[in-house]
């Protein structure tokens, strides 16, 4: 039931992943789920770049070098984390958004549509027993130095994916009733 999957969805971080690979078929299923996200004026702004193998290592190296280049006081633990997180993931998917060239709708609507595509990916991963996590480091503003991005395309973050062994704890949320006004 979809409600149970929504309640079960969690951030599962690269440090929690095991070495089990994710099949191309399963990654394709996750991407197909993304493509069913709603989109105003049918702009379908989501774009994805799948990184596996050596490409993940190149991403980690790029992020760590860019961090050391741009931070006046880089911390060694963060350099290591930027290098290791992509390596620990079975796959990393760069989440990109292609702005409608006609700008026929507000940019926030295209960002929201892309976020809904990622939520579809996350729910699909949850159903398949794949851990996932959306990371949006400040370094994403430099991704046009790493990827060939089209005009109007921006990187919004990285979707890390990997199988995991440990039990993921339940999350407590405040009551939904506290966030609703009935009129």
Per-residue burial over 74-104, b if 16 or more Cβ lie within 10 Å, else e, is eeeeebebbbebbebbbbbbbbbbbbbeeee
What per-residue confidence (pLDDT) applies to 93? Answer: 98
Query: For residue 54, what is the domain's CATH number?
Result: 3.40.109.10
Question: Annotated binding residues for FMN, as ranges?
Answer: 9-11, 40, 134-136
Q: Is the pLDDT of residue 171 over 90?
A: no
Q: How many angstroms separate the CA atoms of 124 and 29, rounded?
A: 8
Q: Is the pLDDT of residue 169 over 90?
A: no
Share of the chain above pLDDT 70, in %: 100
What per-residue confidence (pLDDT) applies to 82? Answer: 97
Q: What is the pLDDT of residues 89-132, one digit of tens each?
A: 999 999 999 999 999 999 999 999 999 999 999 999 999 999 99
Domain region containing 51:
2-179
Average pLDDT over residues 140-151: 97
Q: What is the pLDDT of residues 31-66, one digit of tens each?
A: 999 999 999 999 999 999 999 999 999 999 999 999
Question: Annotated binding residues, as ranges?
Answer: 9-11, 40, 134-136
Count of domains forming the chain: 1
């Amino acid at each position: 039931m979809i409600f149970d999957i929504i309640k079960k969805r969690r951030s599962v971080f690269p440090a929690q992943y095991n070495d089990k690979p994710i099949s191309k078929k399963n990654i394709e299923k996750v991407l197909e789920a993304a493509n069913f996200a709603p989109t105003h004026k049918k702009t379908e702004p989501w774009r994805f770049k799948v990184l596996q193998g050596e490409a993940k290592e190149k991403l980690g190296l790029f992020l760590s070098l860019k961090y050391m280049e741009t931070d006046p006081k880089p911390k060694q633990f963060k350099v290591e984390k930027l290098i290791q997180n992509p390596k620990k993931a079975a796959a990393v998917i760069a989440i990109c958004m292609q702005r409608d060239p006609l700008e026929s709708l507000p940019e926030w609507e295209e960002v929201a549509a892309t976020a809904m595509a990622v939520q579809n990916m996350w729910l699909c991963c949850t159903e398949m027993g794949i851990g996932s996590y959306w990371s949006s480091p400040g370094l994403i503003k430099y991704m046009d130095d790493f990827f060939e991005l089209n005009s109007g395309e921006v990187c919004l973050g990285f979707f890390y994916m990997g199988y995991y062994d440990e039990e993921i704890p339940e999350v407590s949320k405040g009551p939904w009733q506290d966030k609703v006004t009935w009129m």
